[in-house]
Amino acid sequence: MDVKIETAKAGEQQQQLVSLALVWRRRAIRAGGAHYRASEYHASVGNALSVFNILSAIAVLFLTNNKFFSSDAVQVATTTTPTESSLLANVDFWTAIAGLVIVLTTVLQYILRPEIKESEAKRAGADFTQIKREIEILLASGVIERGAVERLQVAHSHTSKNHSLVPARLWRKAEATTNRAIKEDLEFEKSVCLRFAIDPGAIDRL
């Protein structure tokens, strides 16, 4: 009788550990997807600021070095028509605006640090993906020990603490993709649940 009780307890504990591992796997999928989404966003911001910088610099160089727009060229004439004066005023105005844009986008790049944030988010996505793989290897082994689950918990907590949080709006945008990935991968969860005699619906309730 004692052996049966111990066996039942061991089986129940194994089911709990497997259920916990499956929940963490889903969380790793969501976190990894969100961080990859954030990486794409920061890359887009960095590219946009770089394009503005380049276009503004080209505009400044064109307007300041084109003889047609040079005030010296106009001064060669004895008189300047109102149209010429208006043209020069507009050129000076837009040259100043282009220079201001260069300064502002450079400051924004320095403050926002999109390249650094892109790299950090990509690294976080890779770390969470690695945790997902480790969980899958553990589940495929057939036997899950408490020590292995505890190591996964430490790895998950360490990864979460050592990477920046994903903004809520980016997380929500990534949810559609990550939820679809989880649904497409339900066969894996079902096979694990079947092997360990776990109700698949129990994972959704955790």
In a structure prediction context, what are the per-residue pLDDT tens digits for the chain, which is 206 residues long?
444 444 556 667 788 888 888 888 888 988 999 999 999 999 999 998 888 888 888 877 777 776 655 555 444 444 455 554 555 556 677 777 777 878 888 888 888 899 999 999 999 999 999 999 998 888 888 778 888 888 888 888 888 888 888 988 888 888 878 887 777 777 777 888 777 777 666 666 55
The number of beta carbons lying within 10 Å of the beta carbon of residue 133 is: 12
Angle between helices 168-184 and 186-195 (to 10 degrees): 60
- pLDDT at position 138: 87
Q: Quote the CA–CA distance of 187 and 142 in Å, as a whole number.
A: 17
- pLDDT at position 165: 87
Look at the alpha carbons of 33, 34, 39, 44 in this order and tell me if their dihedral is positive or negative: positive
Could you tell me how many helices (H) and strands (E) the chain has, helices first? 8, 0
Q: Is 78 helix (H, G, I), strand (E, B) or coil?
A: coil
Q: Quote the CA–CA distance of 178 and 28 in Å, as a whole number.
A: 10
Q: Is 192 helix (H, G, I), strand (E, B) or coil?
A: helix
Place of tokens 């430490």: 154
Q: Quote the CA–CA distance of 122 and 111 in Å, as a whole number.
A: 19
Sequence-ordered list of residues with C-beta below 8 angstroms from that of 166, at least 6 positions apart, any chain: 31, 34, 35, 37, 38, 121, 174
- Select from 36, 35, 91 the least CA-distant residue to 63: 91
Place of tokens 């605006």: 97
- pLDDT at position 66: 64
Q: Are 30 and 175 in contact (CB under 8 A)?
A: yes
Q: Are 122 and 35 in contact (CB under 8 A)?
A: yes
